[in-house]
Amino acid sequence: MQSEIINIGDELLIGQVINSNAAKMGQMLIQGGFTTRRMITISDDKEDILASIENRLPDTKVLIFSGGLGPTRDDLTKNVLAEYFDTELVFNQEAYDDIVALFAQRNFKVTPTNQEQAYLPQDCITLPNKVGTARGMWFEKKDLIVISLPGVPFEMIHLMEEQVMPRLVAHFSTKPLHYRTMMTIGIGESFLADKIEAWELGLPQDMSLAYLPHYGAVRLRLSCTDPHPESSIKRINAELAKVVPLISEYIYGYDEESLQEVVGKLLLKRQQTLATAESCTGGYISHLITSVSGSSAYYKGSVIAYDNDVKKNLLEVSSDNLEQYGAVSEAVVKQMAEGARKILKTDFAIATSGIAGPEGGTDEKPVGTIWIAVATPDTCIAEKFQLGDHRGRNIERSATLGLNMLRKMLIQ
Amino acid sequence: MQSEIINIGDELLIGQVINSNAAKMGQMLIQGGFTTRRMITISDDKEDILASIENRLPDTKVLIFSGGLGPTRDDLTKNVLAEYFDTELVFNQEAYDDIVALFAQRNFKVTPTNQEQAYLPQDCITLPNKVGTARGMWFEKKDLIVISLPGVPFEMIHLMEEQVMPRLVAHFSTKPLHYRTMMTIGIGESFLADKIEAWELGLPQDMSLAYLPHYGAVRLRLSCTDPHPESSIKRINAELAKVVPLISEYIYGYDEESLQEVVGKLLLKRQQTLATAESCTGGYISHLITSVSGSSAYYKGSVIAYDNDVKKNLLEVSSDNLEQYGAVSEAVVKQMAEGARKILKTDFAIATSGIAGPEGGTDEKPVGTIWIAVATPDTCIAEKFQLGDHRGRNIERSATLGLNMLRKMLIQ
C-alpha cells in the first residue's frame, strides 16, 4: 500500500530544524505495511499544499501531513484542507473540552487563539490529541485518505501511534512488515559485516539485513516480508539464533533495548546498586541511567566532579595522584570509581575522566583521551580510550563505553 | 531565486536515517539568496527521478539532487541524468586520477567498481570532490540548472561549499536573505502570539515572522527579503527592538544561543561559579551545562541525589524535613540547593526534586510535580511546577525551567 508524507514548515525549508518527523513517520508506516514512495517538505502555503495533494503519485492511497496546525497566523493547513474537501470549520465541543482540560492541568487560561483550535472541518474524523491542543484530522475522498497531524514531534508520534496507524492498518488490512533488531556494541560496522558475511549471503530471499550504526553501537535489523506473522517471527528468530555464536561477545540486547535498560535489568535481578562519578561525561551517564523509569530501585546517584577540588573533597581522590598523574589518568579514575562506591554506598560505580574537547588537549593527552573505570565489590578495572575531537560525540561514546564495561562485569 | 532539493535514498524513506542533508542544503541555499520552495525524498528509481525533474514547480530555476551516486548496483542517478540531458557517460581521466590519489592516501587499492565512478556524463560540468570518489555534476538546459551531489553528508557539504554555492551565486547574481532569531522561554506559543499580535500585524510586507517552539522555549524568527544586506539587518533589528518591551521578561538570547550558553556567559562575566543538586533531572542539567565547551571555568560539579540517603549524607538535607515534607517539597529542594552551594563551594546552585513519572505519583503529589530551587550568596528561592506525565519531557522541561530561574537571578 503506497503512502506519501508531506511535512509543512518554513523552519524545515530553511534548514533551521532537521526533519526528524519524516523519518519517524516513514518508520511507523513501513512497520504497518505501507511503502512510503515519496516525502515532500513544503511551506505553509495554500497553493503548495493543494499541489501536493493534486500531484500525488498515481498509486498513492494515503497522504499524511504533519505541521501547519499551530494556533498562530502562519498556520493554514486546516483551512486549506477544509476547502479542498469542500467542508466548513465548525466548533467542536469535545476538542474544546480537551484543550480546557489540558490547560487546567497546567494552570493556564484558554486564550481566544487556543479557542480557534477547536474549530475543525465538519466532514472529517477528528483524532483526539492527549498531549497537545491541535487534533489530528482524517479525510476520505474516493480511494484517497488524507491525514493531517501537528508538527510538534511528540504530538505527531502520539497521534501516529494511538490513532493513525491502528486506523490505517484496519482500513487497508495491511500485513505489517516483521523484523527484529539485534543490538551490538564494541565492534565497527565493517568488522561486523566481515564476521557475519557468510550468514548474511545465505539469508532467504524474503529476508533482508540492515546495519544501523550509532555512536559505537551497531543495530542489526533483520526483516522479513513473509505475510504470516507467526512464521515470519519464527523464521527471523531462527536466523538470528544462527548468527549469535559468531558475534556473541558484542550482542547486548534485542529490539531497541538501550544499554542503560539492559544494565538496569541486570542490577535489578542481582538486587545490587550503582553510582557514578563523572568528570568528562558531565552527568550524561547519570542522565541515561535515570531516563529509565524505575531506575531509583538500583541507582543511588552520582558525584559530577568537574572540578579537581570536588574530586578530592567528595570522592577522596588523593592530591598526590592528581599532581603526579593529572586528572585524566588511570590512578585518578580508579579512585573516583572507588570513592563513589564508598561514599554513595553502592555495589558498583562507573567513573570517567577525559578530555572531551575541543579545547584542553596536550601532546601527551590529546583531545579524545578518555579513562573509564568500573569499581565492583571485588575489584576495580580501568580502560583508556582514544576517541575523536567532537565534544558531543566524545561524551556520548564515553557514556556508552562506560555502561558497556559495567555490563560485561555484570554478566561474567 | 527558487530552488528545490531532491534527496535520494531508501534509507530515508523507511526512516532508518534522518535526512540531515536536506536541512543543511536548505540552510546554505537561503544564505546564498535562494528560496527552497520544496524538498523531496525519493527512492533511487528511474521513474521517480525523472518525475522530480519534469514536475518541478513552475518557477524553479535550480534543482539539487543528493544521493544515488555510490559505486553500487542500486545507484542509478548518474545514468538517469545522462539520459535526461541526452548525453553519454565517458571516461574522465581527471576524475580517475583523483580517485587513485584518494585511495593511495588511505592505502586502498582501486577496484573495478570504483573505476566506474570515473565515467561521467559528457555534457556537464563535473565538480571535483576532494573528500570522496563521486564527483558532483552540473547540468544546464534552457533556464534550468540541475546539480547532482553524493549523499554522504560531509561530501555533500564539501561540494556545496566549494563548488555549488559559489557557482550558483555567480550565475544568478543573488542577494542573500537576512534573518535574526529571538530566543524566548517561559511562555507558550499562543500566549506569546497574543502579546505581540499588534506588532506582528504591523510588520512591513517584506518581513515575515515564524514561531519555532521547542520544549518550553519558543524561537521567534524575523526574516526580510529586502535585497540590501545592511538595510535588511538594520530594519530587522529595528523591528525586534520594538517587540522587546512587550515580552522582555521572556527573552533570553538571540540567534540560536542556548540557555546553558547564556547562563555560562553571565557566570563568566561575573566570575562566579555554579553547582547543581539533581534528583528528578538525574544529571540532565549538569549534562546541558557541561555540553558547552569551556564550562569548567564556572561549573564545579553536581551531586545527583537520586536516593534520599545521598540527599542526607552528601547534601546535608535533614531527616526531619524528608520525613515531614517528603523529598518532593520546598523545604527539601531548598536544602539541596544550599547544600550543593556549600559542599561544592560555589556562588550559585540549582536543585531539582520532583516526580518525573510515569510511576511514583500520589493524589497529593501527582506525576509531573516538580520543585526547583536556586541558591545564591544572599538567598534561596524555590518554585513549584506542575508538568505533564511524560518522563523524558518532564526531565527536559525541568532542566530548562531551572536554568531559566538561575538566569533571571543573574540578570537582576
Query: pLDDT of A164-212, one tens digit each?
Result: 999 999 999 987 888 899 999 988 777 888 899 999 999 999 898 887 7
Residues 147-176 of B with CB under 8 A from A: none
Beta-bridged to residue A217, according to DSSP, are: A185, A214
Where helices occur in A273-390 by DSSP H, the ranges are 284-290, 308-315, 319-325, 330-343
Beta-bridged to residue A319, according to DSSP, are: none
Q: How much of chain B exceeds pLDDT 90, in percent? A: 75
The pLDDT value given to residue B178: 84
Q: What is the DSSP secondary-structure string of A115-143?
A: HHTTEEESSSEEE--TTSSPPEEEEEETT
First CA to last CA across chain B, in angstroms?
Answer: 46
pTM: 0.80
Nearest to B149 by CA among B229, B237, B78: B78
10 Å Cβ neighbour count for B206?
12
Contact B55, B14 (CB under 8 A): no
Q: Does domain A178-254 have CATH number 3.30.70.1130?
A: yes
Residues in B touching A307 (Cβ below 8 Å) = 296, 299-301, 344
Q: What is the DSSP secondary-structure string of B47-111?
A: HHHHHHHHT--TTEEEEEEES--SSSTT--HHHHHHHHTT--EEE-HHHHHHHHHHHHHTT-PPP
With 60 as the cut, is the pLDDT of residue B73 above it?
no
The pLDDT value given to residue A191: 81
* Average pLDDT for A226-250: 91
Highest mean pLDDT among A285-289, B79-83, B111-115: A285-289
Nearest to B289 by CA among B271, B267, B314: B267
Catalogue the E-assigned strands of B306-401. Answer: 348-354, 369-375, 380-386
With 90 as the cut, is the pLDDT of residue A278 above it?
yes
The per-residue b/e assignment along B307-331, b for 16 or more CB within 10 angstroms, e otherwise, is bbebbbbbbebeeebbeeeebbbbb
The pLDDT value given to residue B105: 76
CATH architecture assigned to A259-411 = Alpha-Beta Complex (3.90)
Q: What angle do CA B359, B364, B368 make, to 5 degrees?
A: 45
Contact A109, A115 (CB under 8 A): no
Write the CB contacts of A238 (distance below 8 Å, at least 6 apart in sequence). none
Task: Please judge whether A345 and B309 are an interchain contact, meaning their C-beta atoms are less than 8 angstroms apart.
Answer: yes
The pLDDT value given to residue B74: 61
With 80 as the cut, is the pLDDT of residue B172 above it?
yes
For residue A81, what pLDDT band results from cuts at 50, 70 and 90?
A: very high
Residues 207-246 of A with CB under 8 A from B: 210, 212
Give the Cα separation of A308 and A235 in Å (integer): 55
| pLDDT tens digits for range B51-61 | 999 999 999 99
3-state secondary structure of B179: strand
Going A333 to A338 to A342 to A344, the CA torsion angle's sign is positive
Is the CB of residue B363 less than 8 Å away from at least one CB of chain A?
no
* Average pLDDT for B373-382: 97
CATH code of domain B2-172? 3.40.980.10
Q: Where are chain A's structural domains?
A: 2-172, 178-254, 259-411
Residues in B touching A302 (Cβ below 8 Å) = 283, 302-304, 306
Task: Chain A: give the shortest CA distance to residue B7, in Å.
Answer: 9
Interstrand relation of B89-91 and B119-121 (parallel, antiparallel or unpaired): antiparallel
B38 closest CB neighbour out of A40, A113, A356:
A40
| pLDDT tens digits for range A364-386 | 999 999 999 999 999 999 999 99
Rg (CA), chain B: 27
Give the Cα separation of A315 and A318 in Å (integer): 9
| pLDDT tens digits for range B212-256 | 877 678 999 998 878 777 888 999 999 999 999 999 999 999 988
For residue B112, what pLDDT band results from cuts at 50, 70 and 90?
A: confident
Cell numbers representing residue A207 in the block: 529476508
Min mean pLDDT across A11-25, A209-223, A283-297, B144-158 is at: A209-223
* Average pLDDT for B273-299: 97
Residues in B touching A22 (Cβ below 8 Å) = 12, 15, 18-19, 41
3-state secondary structure of B291: coil
The pLDDT value given to residue B127: 97
With 80 as the cut, is the pLDDT of residue B49 above it?
yes
Write the CB contacts of A191 (distance below 8 Å, at least 6 apart in sequence). none
CATH code of domain B259-410? 3.90.950.20
For residue B180, what pLDDT band results from cuts at 50, 70 and 90?
A: very high
For residue A230, what pLDDT band results from cuts at 50, 70 and 90?
A: confident
The pLDDT value given to residue B72: 61
* Average pLDDT for B121-147: 93
Residues in B touching A309 (Cβ below 8 Å) = 300, 345
* Average pLDDT for A314-336: 97
Is the CB of residue A287 less than 8 Å away from at least one CB of chain B?
yes
